[in-house]
Amino acid sequence: MSLLGLSQLRFLLRARWSTLSVLVGLTLGVAAVVAVHQIGSRINASLEMVGLPHLDGLTELLDRDGANLTDADYFALRARWRAGEYTDVRALVPMVEGQRVMAGRRALVVGVDWIAASSLPASGSGIDGRALIADGRLLVDGSFGLRAGESIEVGGASFQVEGVLDADLGGLVLADLGIAQTLLGLPPQALSQIGVRRSDPYARASELAERVLPGISAGFARRSSGWQPEGWRARSISAEQPSLGFARSVVFNVGALGLLVLVVAWFLIYQIAIIWHRRRRLLNDRLEAMGVSRIELTRGFVRAFFLLGLVASFAGLLGGVVLARGLGAMTTLAADAAGQWPPITGWLLLKAGVSGMGVGSLSAWMACRREWGSGSGAPTWILAGVLLAVAAAGVYFPVTGLFGGFAAVLALGMLVVAVVQPMLEALRASALRLRGRLLNRHALREVAWYPRDLSVAVGALSLAVATSMAVGLMVESFRTDFAQMLDQRLAHDLYVDGGGRDLADVHGWLLEQPSVDHVQPYGRARHRVGTVPIELGYSPLDEAEAARYGVRGGLGPGEALVSERLAGLLGADVGDRLALGGGLRIAGVFSGFGEAGYRVLVDESVAADLGIELVHDRLSVSLAADDQVAGADLDARLLAAFPGVEVEPRGRMRQVAMEIFDRTFAITSSLTLLALLVAAIGVHNSLVALRLNQQQGVHLLVMLGVTAGELARVAVRRALGIGSVAVALALPLGVLMAWLLCAVINPRAFGWTVDLHLALSDVAVPLALGIGAAVLAGLLPSPRDSAGEI
Amino acid sequence: MRIVTLPALLLTLLIVAPGCQPDEPAGGAMGEGTLRLGAVLGETDAQGFARAEAVVPFAFPGDHGPHPRFRSEWWYLTANVQNEFGAEFGVQFTVFRQALAPGPGPANPWLSNQVFLAHAAVTGVLEQGHWHEERVARGHPGVAGATAEPFRVWVDGWELAGRNGGFDEQRLSVKADAFAVDLQLDALKRPVLQGDRGLSAKGPEQASYYYSVPRLSARGTLRIGEVEHQVSGRAWIDREWSTSALSSGQVGWDWFALHLDDSWEIMVYQLRRADGSRDRYDHAVLIDPYGAKHPLGADDFELEPEIFWQDDDGVAWPLQWRLKALDRELRIRAAVPDQRMETSVSYWEGLVGVFDMAGRRTGRGYMELTGYEG
Amino acid sequence: MNPVLSVAGLAKRYVDGSAERVVLAEVSLEVGPGEILAVCGPSGSGKSTLLSIVAGLVLPDAGLIELTTPEGTLRIDGLSDAARADVRRRQLGYVFQFFNLVPTLTVRENVLLPLELTGRGHLRAAALQRLADLGMDDRLDDFPENLSGGERQRTAIARALAHEPVLVLADEPTGNLDGGNANLVTDLLWREVRAQGAALLLATHNEAVAARADHVLRLGAGAV
């Protein structure tokens, strides 16, 4: 090792406390990134299980846009492809699809030419349907409760269950193409759609990106299919599986928060690098005088941080794996995901390495640039302008998608960090106006006296506080809207779920019970509005039922209710017509928080007109008002009579829903707290540095007879001042970020808008946390060996 | 000579592939089913299929077409051609037919019990390159099938068909991603019945019906990448159908179909046994310029590998051989080392040159090597 | 006249690993009101240690330190930490070579700080007058970083005397100044201390400064 390197290394070892801060901060940052990656990968893996397996590996579905699709159309298309047209097509797979009631429940029957599908790349969920070729073999999902080897009778013919998919995909039956045609009573010429796999460079890039940054593919606004052979209509596979996009959005949001911790860690390290650089100024000047170039000095400095980054990468990797399990245990998504934690892949190693070593080296390099930079680079107002422009573009252009939304959040955060120093300088300029006790003046002026040593740490604290506030505001606003929705929907006393089974017998039994006042049956079928796959819910939609979705006066004939997510996708509103049946009029838009797919609700008569076989697999029960007590044991009796069904009273439904809600956001809060912790470490480190610089000043105060108690009060006031500056910046930023989350990111990620409720407690708690973090950092004693760090 | 290849290929295709992912839930659920499907293809379930057991007179053109009573069947074509500047190319096109179940199958063609698999490959000697592609399709007439009258075998856009409905004048059209072939083929010699009047024994209980058209003229276009060549040369067609599978103890084989410049042809194969001993079903046939065949037993010829080429996976392929049959002594050498068919099942199939012991070129042909991966 | 400060038999040694270093041995001195005692000696002779012991920042190994104040005579070496801090605050004034001033307080605020700490607000006018007398009246709202070395020391003198201490401790107060400024600052310090009637204990290695003191105590190799 070179002597310069050795000197750097000894510096790291001597500045033990700062070195430890860098390591802890960066380790936490890397751990957050790793944990979020693990959680995201796990959610992705579980998504692949709930994804429709026959769509795996495809990029588009083609149909004839309303006209009947025949196998002659398919063979003609295939011949053109094989003759050299459509050079980017990799596979064409004919399919039939239809619904039919099987084993007492509605099933989506899909027939696939598995031989044509065999050229698709095998991936996580892809099943190999070639075993379904021959005989009457079916593959069914877990919702049927069937076992491999059993047979089912459908329409007088017997079919054999070849295998069972673990996941409940809502009654999916997969078969070979011809078998499905038989099941659905279709002629051999009838096809529903052609699955297409194209070598789409965008898709490949997004698959790759998904492996590096799980959820990233949800980050961009959905692209319509770029391929449209004449006479055909193409639907992209992502549009076909809205729940995949939904969950990826969740993963993306969590990933963005994980990144935030890293950004805060980056500020922390940057701050320490600046302090170290200044502390080494005299030494560096002497080395320069001896002929060592700044490039060499910079390289040595960066190398030291790289080394710390290396250690932090490893520690963060281990910490992240532990953190992922901790966070995963809190959340619904990861906890429900079947299977194992994903292994530590090369991608993850790369990510941890880039996070740790990259952020470490970058911070050191930036510190060198800042301290040695000629004219210190672009002025703050140019940087601020650019950041504002990024934020505005991200908000203004919906095409930037989730990515744009989070870019806006990040840009605003950076803006705050960037303005801390000018703001502290301005505060310092007005320091003379400060009144009150001299020791207090001293304490408060110290906040603004050393902008370079403090500004980045204060900015990071600001950012962490603002994020905590924004997430808190968003979650609480969301919670309020969610609770309102629940109260509206949960209008009945008991809810019965047959898990897909027709509940006609239960319905009849319930009507015989004297305590039962009213039974409302529900059913659902798969359908499409234009190309968009929807869940069509049907029920006798009378006035009372429509009121549950916020619509007064009931529905007229030919009217429907649509979920906000679908209305947003279609750009439709009340009064518009849906491309469904003869063109249903939208009578209302209801919020469907938590719904991954798109939903339309109609009266049963409308569903019957659409040719849907009415099966009711859910019932809600109202008890007679004076019979509440008598009805109290109704659920027990119902369970005894029908052991297979699930019964939940209203209170329990609400409780479960709220629990799921809270668990869903537990991970979010944890990550923001982690960011706050890293920021507090940064502030503490800056304060330690400040105190070291001020040792002579402290000595003077001691000589003047200032007592230890008075000195502690000075420290608290100073920390309060720092906390106040951070909080003053965090307040507008936090509110702005909360608005971005509610009004920009939520609609883009999930298709619903949340009304921002500015509750005092949600604003006050993070502010108090921020000030508390600063005060704690100020009160924590300087480490014993820190004196040696001067 | 693909008797063993066919079941091996389809077994791989239909059984091994789904079983490759035993860890995933869906795959696991499929496991039981695939085992049953395996049983369908196994020896015990050959029940219901016809077997190649006795000599039966071939009747053309009917026997050029498919034999759905037998489980497996293939049409096999190789050609060695040159462009107007003398640059040499090789062409291989093979269609396999496999029945999943005996009998005619249901009326719905999507439920057809026939599966077709095709391999196409082109070798460029000057380019020292080899391009190949595989296609699989079910026996739906819209995408794959075989008929005798008119003669036509087609798999997903690739086709070998009689130009005038018959077998003697054919057209091969193949368009793949990296290459395309369009050849007119005219038989120059009558079909030669292999084995005992067309019944070719491969083991004590394994046999196939097997005939060859040893010499056809080939003329047409061949495109590699964007470059199109006008080519002409000679081709060889093999036809074989059977129900039986590989006999135990045989690990692979080396097979040659050679066109000699003096208008003779040689077909020779040896079955390699696990214990290294000579298989008594090894066989060679020499065909004279008049189309008469001169069969040789295992003891009548010697076939020795001379030079091996090692691929990236460390597999050593014998790419130069010495053949001694009757009064002829020949050296056979691969025109391009890497002519591996990396398809559902991996094997080496490619253009070879034939030389006398003095090193003079005396012919061209095709060589097939299997079972070397161990 | 009773001396303001009386030190007798003072000894201090530092243990550095296994080595023991005697810094002060058998030091005795007395300074009366309006008197100036210069402590001379080369670097490492114990001047600063002596001042620290008198200020109550460091405890001696042996000896007696008595400070006579209007409230009575105090034995500094026998007081608690808090009591010693109180003595420093109320009875002592300081002038150092560097870091005399709190950087975040203006000239005026630095001078008024001892008044705030001692609660002697009635001395405010006198303290500000002293600043004016020292020629600092146009720099009252400047922060120390904007002052010259001489101006800083003048402010330090004003601060040292603002709360009317009985004893002023000065550690190389002119060490950082050029000859002209050094003389000026020395003159001002002498003038103000005598006008105040305080005692001045001055550590210096500058013989010219020492020569102008009423008494000179020479330290060297721990001996008087």
What tens digit of pLDDT does each residue of A503-522 get?
889 999 988 888 888 899 99
User: What is the residue-averaged pLDDT of chain B?
Assistant: 83
**Touch between chain C and chain A: 3 or more Cβ pairs under 8 Å:** yes
pLDDT tens digits in sequence order for chain C, 224 residues long: 678 899 998 888 887 777 788 888 888 899 999 899 999 888 778 888 888 888 888 888 888 898 988 888 888 888 888 888 888 888 999 888 877 788 888 999 999 999 988 888 898 999 999 899 888 889 888 988 888 888 988 899 999 989 989 999 998 888 777 877 888 888 888 888 888 889 999 998 888 888 888 989 888 754 43
For chain B, what's the residue count? Answer: 374
- Which of residues B318 and C79 earns the better pLDDT score? B318
Tell me, yes or no, if B109 comes closer than 8 A to chain A by beta carbon. Answer: yes
Q: Report the 3 state secondary structure along C185-197.
A: HHHHHHHHHHHHC
Instruction: Quote the CA–CA distance of A743 and A753 in Å, as a whole number.
Output: 6
Label residue A237 by pLDDT band (50, 70, 90).
Answer: confident
Mutate to test the interface with A, among B24, B113, B174, B228 (most CBs of A within 10 A): B24
Nearest to C86 among A438, A703, A705 (CB): A705
DSSP line for A119-168: TSPP-SS---GGGG-SSSEEEE-GGG---TT-EEEETTEEEEEEEE-SS-
pLDDT at C70 (0 to 100)? 85
Distance from CA of A238 to the nearest CA of B (A): 21
Helix (H) or strand (E) holding A388: helix A380-396
> In the numeric block, which tokens belong to residue B83?
């462009």
From residue A716, how far is each of A267, A492, A731, B348 by CA, in Å? Answer: 23, 56, 21, 81
DSSP secondary structure code for residue A783 in this structure:
P
CB contact at 8 A, A519 and A466 = no
The residue-averaged pLDDT of A134-143 equals 80
Pairing of strands A69-70, A190-191: antiparallel
Task: Collapse the DSSP code of C99 into the 3-class scheme (helix H, G, I; strand E, B; otherwise coil) and give the result.
Answer: coil
Reported as a single tens digit per residue, the pLDDT across A389-419 is: 999 998 888 888 878 888 898 898 888 888 8
Chain B positions in Cβ-Cβ contact with residue A53 (cut-off 8 Å): 26
Residue A536 sits at the vertex; the CA angle it makes with A533 and A540, to the nearest 5 degrees, is 170
pLDDT at A532 (0 to 100)? 81
Reported as a single tens digit per residue, the pLDDT across A624-655 is: 876 556 656 888 888 888 887 888 888 888 88
The residue-averaged pLDDT of A345-355 equals 86
**Residue B234 pLDDT more than 60?**
yes
Chain A positions in Cβ-Cβ contact with residue B106 (cut-off 8 Å): 178
Label residue A331 by pLDDT band (50, 70, 90).
Answer: low
> In the numeric block, which tokens belong to residue A720?
């309060």
Which has the closest alpha carbon to A713: A465, A421, A440?
Answer: A440
Distance from CA of B32 to the nearest CA of A (A): 8
Among the ranges given (A133-142, A175-184, B346-355), the one the predictor scored with the smallest mean pLDDT: A133-142
Give whichever of A426-430, A454-458, C110-114 has the largest mean pLDDT: C110-114
> What residue has token string 């995933």?
B24
pLDDT at A126 (0 to 100)? 53
pLDDT at B352 (0 to 100)? 97
**Touch between chain C and chain B: 3 or more Cβ pairs under 8 Å:** no
CB contact at 8 A, A764 and A469 = no
CB contact at 8 A, A402 and A749 = yes
pLDDT at B248 (0 to 100)? 61
**Residue B151 pLDDT more than 90?**
yes
Verify whether the Cβ–Cβ distance A437 to C116 is below 8 Å: yes
**Residue B1 pLDDT more than 50?**
no
DSSP line for A464-493: HHHHHHHHHHHHHHHHHHHHHHHHHH--SS
Instruction: Quote the CA–CA distance of A471 and A465 in Å, as a whole number.
Output: 10
**Residue B57 pLDDT more than 50?**
yes
Q: Which residues contact A702 (CB under 8 A, 6 or more apart)?
A: A711, C57, C85, C88
pLDDT at C178 (0 to 100)? 80
pLDDT at B33 (0 to 100)? 28
Identity of the residue numbered A569: L
pLDDT at B2 (0 to 100)? 42
Pairing of strands C167-171, C92-95: parallel
CB contact at 8 A, A97 and A109 = yes
The residue-averaged pLDDT of B22-38 equals 30
pLDDT at B283 (0 to 100)? 84
DSSP secondary structure code for residue B277 in this structure:
P
pLDDT at B128 (0 to 100)? 94
CB pairs under 8 A between A and C: 60
- Which of residues A66 and A149 earns the better pLDDT score? A149
The residue-averaged pLDDT of A714-734 equals 88
Instruction: Quote the CA–CA distance of A630 and A642 in Å, as a whole number.
Output: 19
Among the ranges given (A121-130, A343-352, C72-81), the one the predictor scored with the smallest mean pLDDT: A121-130
Measured in whole angstroms, how far is the alpha carbon of residue A416 from the centre of its chain?
A: 24
The residue-averaged pLDDT of A427-440 equals 83
Mutate to test the interface with C, among A704, A706, A713, A717 (most CBs of C within 10 A): A704
> In the numeric block, which tokens belong to residue C168?
């002023």
**Residue B329 pLDDT more than 90?**
yes
pLDDT at B176 (0 to 100)? 93
Burial (CB < 10 A; 0-12, 13-18, 19+), residue A784, is exposed
Query: In chain A, which among 409-438 make CB contacts under 8 A with chain C?
Result: 431-432, 437-438
**Residue A443 pLDDT more than 80?**
yes
| Phi and psi, residue C68, nearest 5° | -95, 120
**Residue B285 pLDDT more than 60?**
yes
CB contact at 8 A, A209 and A216 = yes
Q: Does the model's ipTM exceed the 0.90 cut?
A: no
| Phi and psi, residue A304, nearest 5° | -60, -45
Max Cα distance, chain B (Å) = 62
Instruction: Quote the CA–CA distance of A524 and A396 in Å, as a whole number.
Output: 37
Distance from CA of C3 to the nearest CA of A (A): 23
Which residue in B has a C-alpha nearest to residue A93's C-alpha? B137
For chain C, what's the residue count? Answer: 224
**Residue B20 pLDDT more than 50?**
no
- Which of residues B256 and C58 earns the better pLDDT score? B256
**Residue A785 pLDDT more than 50?**
no
| Cβ atoms < 10 Å from Cβ of A469 | 27
Looking at the DSSP assignment, which residues form a beta bridge with residue B138? Answer: B115
> What residue has token string 């968009």?
A532
pLDDT at A128 (0 to 100)? 66
**Residue A333 pLDDT more than 60?**
no
Verify whether the Cβ–Cβ distance B29 to A122 is below 8 Å: no
- Which of residues B37 and A560 earns the better pLDDT score? A560
CA dihedral of residues A139, A144, A145, A146 (deg, nearest 10)? -40
Task: Collapse the DSSP code of A395 into the 3-class scheme (helix H, G, I; strand E, B; otherwise coil) and give the result.
Answer: helix
Label residue B24 by pLDDT band (50, 70, 90).
Answer: very low
Q: Which residues contact C5 (CB under 8 A, 6 or more apart)?
A: C29, C30, C31, C54, C65, C66, C67, C68, C167, C199, C201
Instruction: Quote the CA–CA distance of A25 and A769 in Å, as a whole number.
Output: 18
Residue B33 sits at the vertex; the CA angle it makes with B32 and B36, to the nearest 5 degrees, is 95
**Residue A238 pLDDT more than 80?**
no
Which residue in A has a C-alpha nearest to residue B101's C-alpha? A134
Among the ranges given (A612-616, B25-29, B163-167, C20-24), the one the predictor scored with the smallest mean pLDDT: B25-29
Which has the closest alpha carbon to C201: C37, C89, C5?
Answer: C37
Instruction: Quote the CA–CA distance of A143 and A165 in Å, as a whole number.
Output: 9
The residue-averaged pLDDT of B302-326 equals 92
**Residue B365 pLDDT more than 80?**
yes
Nearest to C99 among A439, A449, A697 (CB): A697
| Cβ atoms < 10 Å from Cβ of A622 | 16
Among the ranges given (A89-93, A555-559, A738-742, B250-254), the one the predictor scored with the smallest mean pLDDT: B250-254
Label residue A752 by pLDDT band (50, 70, 90).
Answer: confident
CB contact at 8 A, A565 and A598 = yes
Burial (CB < 10 A; 0-12, 13-18, 19+), residue C30, is middle
Q: Which residues contact A285 (CB under 8 A, 6 or more apart)?
A: none
Give chains near B: 3+ CB pairs under 8 A. Answer: A
> What residue has token string 């298709």?
A751
- Which of residues A646 and B276 earns the better pLDDT score? A646
Instruction: Quote the CA–CA distance of A483 and B366 in Å, as a whole number.
Output: 76
Instruction: Quote the CA–CA distance of A661 and A777 in Å, as a whole number.
Output: 34
Label residue B293 by pLDDT band (50, 70, 90).
Answer: very high
- Which of residues B85 and A230 earns the better pLDDT score? B85
**Residue B11 pLDDT more than 80?**
no
Instruction: Quote the CA–CA distance of A129 and A176 in Å, as a whole number.
Output: 7
Which has the closest alpha carbon to A456: A605, A272, A608?
Answer: A272
> In the numeric block, which tokens belong to residue B306?
């001379």
CB contact at 8 A, A445 and A434 = yes
Reported as a single tens digit per residue, the pLDDT across A61-83 is: 898 877 789 999 999 999 999 98
**Residue A590 pLDDT more than 90?**
no
**Residue B22 pLDDT more than 70?**
no
**Residue B133 pLDDT more than 90?**
yes
Q: State what percent of residues in chain B have pLDDT above 90.
A: 56
pLDDT at B158 (0 to 100)? 96
pLDDT at A332 (0 to 100)? 56
Looking at the DSSP assignment, which residues form a beta bridge with residue B224? Answer: B179, B227
Max Cα distance, chain A (Å) = 103
Distance from CA of A108 to the nearest CA of B (A): 18
Distance from CA of B105 to the nearest CA of A (A): 10
Chain A positions in Cβ-Cβ contact with residue B14 (cut-off 8 Å): 130-131
**Residue A337 pLDDT more than 80?**
no
Identity of the residue numbered A123: S
From residue C117, how far is each of A335, A731, C112 by CA, in Å? Answer: 61, 37, 9
Reported as a single tens digit per residue, the pLDDT across B115-127 is: 899 999 999 999 9
DSSP secondary structure code for residue C119 in this structure:
T
User: What is the residue-averaged pLDDT of chain A?
Assistant: 82
| Torsion-angle region of A770 (φ positive above 0: left; ψ -120 to 50: alpha; else: beta) | alpha
Pairing of strands C62-69, C36-40: unpaired
> What residue has token string 């439920």?
B111
Distance from CA of A712 to the nearest CA of C (A): 15
Label residue B292 by pLDDT band (50, 70, 90).
Answer: very high
Task: Collapse the DSSP code of C36 into the 3-class scheme (helix H, G, I; strand E, B; otherwise coil) and give the result.
Answer: strand
Alpha helices in A490-574 (DSSP H): 504-512, 543-547, 564-570
Instruction: Quote the CA–CA distance of A378 and B130 in Å, as a whole number.
Output: 58
Which has the closest alpha carbon to A502: A653, A642, A607, A605?
Answer: A642
Which has the closest alpha carbon to A697: A432, A439, A431?
Answer: A439
User: Residue-wise over A623-653: b if at least 16 C-beta within 10 A, else e?
Assistant: beeeeeeebeebbeebeeebeebebbbbeeb
Burial (CB < 10 A; 0-12, 13-18, 19+), residue A466, is buried
